[in-house]
Amino acid sequence: MAILRLVVRASAVGGAVMAASSAWGAIPPYTLAGSMPAAGLSAFDVLPDGRIIATSGRDVLVESAPGSGLMAPAGRLPAGAVSAFGASFIRVSPSGSRIAIGDNNSPGQQFVHVIETSSLAAGVDSPLVSVPAPNFDAAWSGDASLFVSGSVNFSTPAQVTRIDLGATPGATVVISGVGDGSGGVAIRGSTLFTGVGFDSAGVTTGIIRSFDLGTLASASGAADFGSGAFVADVLSASPLDFDGAGNLLVGGGDFLGAVPDAGYVAVIDLVTGDRLELSPAGGAFYGVRYNAARSEILVSDPFGASPAIYRYVVPAPSAAAVLVSLGLLAWRRRRA
């Protein structure tokens, strides 16, 4: 079910946020177009050709063909690489040459693993480049730089860490003070977006702020989360992504606030504040990724009775609408 909600704002959410541009002139009318089973999947992303890639325990699974919904083992992580709960995230680099996986382990044992995609082979352990960093969500900024949100523990505010994959991989904390728990992280152009995934007081959960990547790179220390430009306060700000028109995608669920905010994925036009809510299965907590190759939003329901990934697409104009348009055009030409 999709609900269009208009959020009234006087202006854009901040100079750092880029305008959404859409051929529709508004949020595209995403419509539920199907689903695939997702039981046993702990994290998923999309390869450049449009196939879904996911983790299930130690296994890395890849869709047989874009849109097929059929997953098969394509690689394997070494024993102990991820926690018994599964990976916290899997993220494919822009070119598809690298895959980053969060280990979702306990404090003091938290690593982000990077795999060369070319090393994937079913039933074979891939060699890892492992960098210590608390991990919850991540976004690539090119093929050699990864930004990771995560909390060392729930008594320490969350942070965003930049992992640089040079000759000697290293990690630098670039944003600190992100509530009591991590939210998502996404990058569009030269801007990083991140949010508060958990606040024990139930006040700041879901707040999303934006930061200029160049400013973060040149700073002598970590930026405080509160210094970022306010973007929105939605769900639990995780995960975050963008569709092809520049609309912000937000998943998660906020169950601690005075007014619980849960049960949908938000598609937000950052210029007008218009919001489309996608709620395919009556669930309380959804994940979301954008499949650029297929121009579709993938909404996951990981905790439902029948875990699934739902596909939302923009419907093609109907044949009747095309005929009406052609008729109007012919009429205008005759009038001219």
Name the burial class of residue 237, with classes exposed (0-12), middle (13-18) and buried (19+) by CB atoms within 10 angstroms of its CB.
Answer: buried
Q: How far apart are CA 163 and CA 110, in angstroms?
A: 13
**DSSP symbol at 67:** T
Q: Which pLDDT does position 85 carry in this prediction?
A: 92
pLDDT digits (tens, 9 = 90+) for 179-201: 988 899 999 999 999 999 998 88
Q: How far apart are CA 231 and CA 328, in angstroms?
A: 41
292 contact partners, CB below 8 Å, separation of at least 6: 46, 50, 244
Q: How far apart are CA 251 and CA 302, in angstroms?
A: 12
3-state DSSP assignment of residue 48: coil
Give the pTM.
0.88
Domain count, the chain: 1
Domain enclosing residue 93, as ranges:
2-335
Q: Which pLDDT does position 24 carry in this prediction?
A: 54
Q: Which pLDDT does position 287 carry in this prediction?
A: 97
Q: 264: pLDDT confidence band, cut at 50, 70 and 90?
A: very high
Q: Which pLDDT does position 283 carry in this prediction?
A: 87
Q: Which pLDDT does position 181 carry in this prediction?
A: 87
Q: How far apart are CA 220 and CA 85, in angstroms?
A: 36
Averaged pLDDT for residues 128-151: 96
CATH label of the domain that carries residue 302:
2.120.10.30
Q: Give the residue among 270, 166, 269, 151 at the shortest CA–CA distance from 199.
A: 151
pLDDT digits (tens, 9 = 90+) for 77-91: 999 999 999 999 999
User: Is 65's pLDDT higher than 50?
Assistant: yes
**Percent above pLDDT 70 for the chain:** 86
pLDDT digits (tens, 9 = 90+) for 278-335: 999 988 999 999 999 999 999 999 988 899 999 999 988 754 344 334 443 444 444 4
